[in-house]
Amino acid sequence: MDRMMMPKNENFRTIWLKPDDPTIVQIIDQTKLPHEFLVRDLGDYREGAHAIREMLVRGAPLIGATAAWSLYLAMIEGSNTSDPIGFVEQAAIELGGTRPTAVNLRWALDRVVGVIRLSGEDQDLVSLLRDEAQSICDEDIEICWNIGVHGCQLIEEISKRKPGEAVNVLTHCNAGALATINWGTATAPIYAATQRGINVHVWVDETRPRNQGSQLTCWELARNEVPHTLIVDNAGGHLMQQGQVDICITGTDRTTRSGDVANKIGTYLKALAAKDNDIPFFVALPSTTIDWTIRDGLTEVSIEERDAREVSHVRGMHGGEVCDVNTVAEGSAIINYAFDITPARLISGLITERGICDASEEGLAQLFPELAGRA
């Protein structure tokens, strides 16, 4: 399988079991993209935790999937101990501490630990966890595909209003195939529209400090031959004022039951600009990123603070080599929040695997009554 092939090739995945050694999980090291395409082995759950914490893998759905595969690796290791289940539960606690904002991490860990607790006495727990991790990945692909099917309608409607012209979609960060197992969340409607022959052009926010837009979204859009233009995060408001944006679609790391969205820092600013210019602002999400236990994003979501070095140092190519340059002189403090909250009032709608709904408690409850009722 050529793993450079992107979503076009349905065989593409961002995480998989090593074909010739099922005790190893493989990932794409996303910190090296777009300059190098490097596949990394995860040999135990600690390497999985490291991959999540250091963002070799990122994006809410892929973080969840990596956590699930890490518990599978923990079960292999734990099988040699006197208390395999205790070993895996301890691993789940460690994995749960790697990233505080993405709710899929907790969701995936809870799901896998729940499966263990419900298992029969003589069940092969290693096979059980492998199958569960595999199911989480297979389901995620199905979910993202369906987000694409629903979200594509929004793009199609706009294209009918401007025949012969491209529909301009603005996106922030990478909520693409690389943030999921395949297809992506925010990108799924774009890929679906492109496959239906709709003329789409994407404005890609660079997304400082880690440049997931310029380094990941541009990379995957280029490989899927989707027309796109990179802009700095500062530019989106100007483009909206000038009528150059038809719709904004972003992903989310956690959505509250009332529709507030925690997503990559800067999302809130784009939502404000969209509102100010009467441009629809949609958020694409698998239901696994909904946190049914909270309502108010501003007071109830823990916002991760990351290393100052992500702000001061920028990675790029120089003289044929990948290197990090320090852009800041000594003597300045730096603070680095990874996410912000976009209040539901600024969101035109949520694109989920079951359809599009209002960013509100009622909207979400209509699509997911069994989940809304349980919490």
Task: Catalog residues that contact a second copy under the rule CB under 8 A.
Answer: 33-35, 204, 206-209, 211, 214-215, 218-219, 221-223, 227-239, 241, 264-266, 268-270, 272-273, 276, 298, 303, 311-319, 323-337, 339-341
CA distance 88 to 100: 20
- Token pair 């297809």 is at which residue? 183
- Identify whether 163 is preceded by a cis peptide bond (ω within 30 of 0): no
As measured in angstroms, the least distance from the Cβ of 261 to a second copy is 13
Torsion of CA 155, 157, 160, 164, to 10 degrees: -10
As measured in angstroms, the least distance from the Cβ of 245 to a second copy is 13
Phi, psi of 59 (to 5 degrees): 95, 130
Phi, psi of 219 (to 5 degrees): -60, -50
As measured in angstroms, the least distance from the Cβ of 334 to a second copy is 5
In the bound state with a second copy, the residue whose beta carbon lies nearer, of 138 and 307, is: 307
90 SS3 class: helix
CA distance 202 to 204: 6
CB 306 within 8 A of CB 164: no
As measured in angstroms, the least distance from the Cβ of 55 to a second copy is 16
In the bound state with a second copy, the residue whose beta carbon lies nearer, of 249 and 262, is: 262
Residue 80 token pair: 């040699």
Residue 339 token pair: 């996410």
CA distance 192 to 166: 15
Of 244, 64, 32, nearest to 137 (Cα)? Answer: 64
Phi, psi of 201 (to 5 degrees): -130, 135
As measured in angstroms, the least distance from the Cβ of 330 to a second copy is 8
- E strand or H helix at 331: none
Could you list the active site residues?
Answer: 253
In the bound state with a second copy, the residue whose beta carbon lies nearer, of 26 and 207, is: 207
CA distance 132 to 218: 32
In the bound state with a second copy, the residue whose beta carbon lies nearer, of 136 and 338, is: 338
Amino acid at 285: L
In the bound state with a second copy, the residue whose beta carbon lies nearer, of 322 and 375, is: 322
In the bound state with a second copy, the residue whose beta carbon lies nearer, of 6 and 137, is: 6
As measured in angstroms, the least distance from the Cβ of 176 to a second copy is 13
